[in-house]
Structure 1
């Protein structure tokens, strides 16, 4: 499912216009991104938790040349599904 399909599904399910559904979906993405950029977790009970974790710097190898490459430290997004989502996936 891509963003346009998500917007269409939200519009149909909530009986909103596609324009209003687009605004709602974009707002949700913005709020998630802003919270995670500050380092906050976003917990949606029954669905899951979006969190940020730190990946330390490491050494890697270029597969085509075999040369060693430095991989810088960075923050990465994580998602842990909640019980409700797990149960829905394993019906």
Structure 2
């Protein structure tokens, strides 16, 4: 499912227009992104938790030359599914 299909699904489930559903989805995604950028978690009960995770600096290898390279520390977005979501996906 891509974003347009998700918008159509939301519009169908809520009885709203695709324009309204698109605006609502964009607002939700922007809210999640803003909170993650500020270093906060976003917890959606029964669905999961969006959070940031720190990656330490490390040494890697260039696969073409085998040369060692330094990889800088970084922060990335992560999602941890809730138990209810895990069960639903597993078909239980």
Query: Could you state the TM-score of these two structures normalised by the residue count of structure 1?
Result: 0.95
Partner residue in 2 for 1:13: 13
Partner residue in 2 for 1:55: 55
Partner SS for 1:40? coil
Shift of 1:84: 1.4
Number of aligned positions between the proteins: 91
Pairwise CA RMSD: 0.8
Partner residue in 1 for 2:80: 80
Partner residue in 1 for 2:40: 40
Gapped runs of 5+ residues in structure 1? Answer: none
In the TM superposition, structure 1's runs of 4+ consecutive aligned residues that sit over 4 Å from their partners are none
Gapped runs of 5+ residues in structure 2? Answer: none
Query: Could you state the TM-score of these two structures normalised by the residue count of structure 2?
Result: 0.94
Aligned partners of 1:11 and 1:64: how far apart in 2?
Answer: 48
Partner residue in 1 for 2:68: 68
